[in-house]
Amino acid sequence: MQNMRPFQIGLLAAFGIIAMGSLALLATYQGFGGLAENPYGEEVVIWGTFDETSFTRVIQEIGRVDRDFQVVEYVQKDERLFEEELVNAIAENRAPDVVLISHEDLVKLRAKMQAISYDNFSTRTLRDEYLDGFEIFARLNGLYAIPFAVDPLVMYWSRDLLATGGFATPPATWESLLDMVERLTLRDATRNILQATVAFGEYQNVLNAKATILTLLLQSGSQMVTEGATRYEVKLDTSQNDTSRRPLFTTLQFYVEFNNVSSPLYSWNRTFTSDQSAFLGERLALYFGYGSESIRLRQQNPNLNFDVAPVPQGAGATVKRTYGRFYGYSLLSSSQNQAGAYRAILVLNSAANATTLASELGLAPAHRAAISAGTNDPVLGMVFSQALLARGWLDPDKEQSDEIFGQMVEDVTSGRQQAGTAANDTIRRLELAF
């Protein structure tokens, strides 16, 4: 046998410890009543929007060792139709037992989920074994999803465009990014943009505009959205440390400046089809996208010379942040097999299985041990490191909030409103959305 590397030994040891913890949870869990002879029940159906290939293979591999696990099935659903199908399935008594969801669906689907009591899955287990950002699933009355993986926002950069502009490395701070704009952005005599530095300032042609704005809010110290005893409180424009600062207002001012034709930062407008297509066509130097997008970017343009870097931070930032989508397995309250489904989740979501699945999907696994063990893949390594910094927010409805943020940006860039008024209106619209 070949000698194992130190990180491999550490990975096996860490996974062994987590596996023992999972077995303890399986042995002591009594939260949902009795089980049939098969510890997983007669059937466990999991719905998700990720490609079913990897999940089916892992489930089959588990089933070859544990034949009882062959009752578990993963079903891929179209993300655009997921909620509608789920609502109809619940009404017709044919719903799955588990849904693999993003935290962005938590608020909207919460009434359909079964919260796991902290007596069964403690907050200490959540904090010790999983990344910080997954605490968003921990609400007042229990845990709404077992953490699976996170997809953090990162910055893709064109090595060729930056090198042509005289830059050897991507910007690590927003201040250095601003310094790049003048040298990287190419305009003709009438200020038409021929080559853009960064796609800020518009919304409809910026694929991850909401995630970018949320990243800036998190970096600005916004309180985001909190859960009170009876309602959600929208605090995007309230700072955690300085009550005189308005994070949403300052974020909006910064973001729209790149669309201001008279500004030296003018770098993007609505004549571009999309920021992703501009990046793939080598007309955009920096593209802000999720870590999982690297797979598709490489497939769409194999010749593109690009790399991935952390999202810039403020030069004086002591705490670094980026936005991320947090995915977890959630039990449905309509399930007639909650105990078996819970056991199945714990097996499928072991550190080893979760790491395999997450890595194949371009995601970072939720387990701290897996992140600490690292990876030899340079892109995934960046995704892993950014997963540590990633945070989410309580989104009332991801489609509705997307429209609200889009209207906020459009109101300012069109001249209909000043940034302060647009920020205030956004808060009110979000409050109504909750």
| DSSP characters over 243-308 | TT--HHHHHHHHHHGGG-TTSTT----TTSS-HHHHHHTT-EEEEEEETTHHHHHHHH-TT--EEE
**Cα distance between residue 397 and residue 114, in whole Å:** 19
Question: Is the domain of 12 the same as that of 113?
Answer: yes
pLDDT digits (tens, 9 = 90+) for 303-339: 999 999 999 999 999 999 999 999 999 999 999 999 9
Q: Which domain holds residue 158?
A: 152-323+394-433
Confidence at residue 2, expressed as pLDDT on a 0 to 100 scale? 43
pLDDT band at residue 36, thresholds of 50, 70 and 90? low
Mind listing the pLDDT tens digit for each residue in 60-113?
999 999 999 999 999 999 999 999 999 999 999 999 999 999 999 999 999 999
69 and 173 housed in the same domain: no
Average pLDDT over the chain reads 93
Among 28-32, 81-85, 232-236, 241-245, name the one with the lowest average pLDDT. Answer: 28-32
Distance CA 215, CA 226 (A): 17
**Token couple for 417:** 């409103």
pLDDT band, residue 27 (cuts 50/70/90): very low
Structural domain includes residue 1: no
Q: Based on the domain organization, do 229 and 346 belong to the same domain?
A: no
- Note whether residue 294 is domain-resident: yes
User: Is residue 29's pLDDT more than 50?
Assistant: no
The pLDDT of residue 242 is: 82
Residues 165 and 260 in one domain: yes
Closest Cα partner for 106 from 376, 327, 404, 414?
Answer: 327
Q: Are residues 241 and 305 in the same domain?
A: yes
- Check if the beta carbon of residue 259 is closer than 8 Å to that of residue 266: yes
CATH at residue 87: 3.40.190.10
One domain for residues 273 and 314: yes
Same domain, 291 and 414: yes
pLDDT, one tens digit per residue, over 163-188 is: 999 999 999 999 999 999 989 999 99
Is residue 363 one of the residues assigned to a domain?
A: yes
13, pLDDT greater than 60: no
387 and 404 inside one domain: no
* Per-residue pLDDT tens digits for 98-153: 999 999 999 999 999 999 999 999 999 999 999 999 999 999 999 999 999 999 99
Whether 125 and 269 share a structural domain: no
Instruction: Please state, in angstroms and rounded to a whole number, the distance separating the CA atoms of residues 62 and 59.
Output: 5
Same-domain status, 355 and 269: no
Is residue 187 domain-shared with residue 118, that is, in the same domain? no
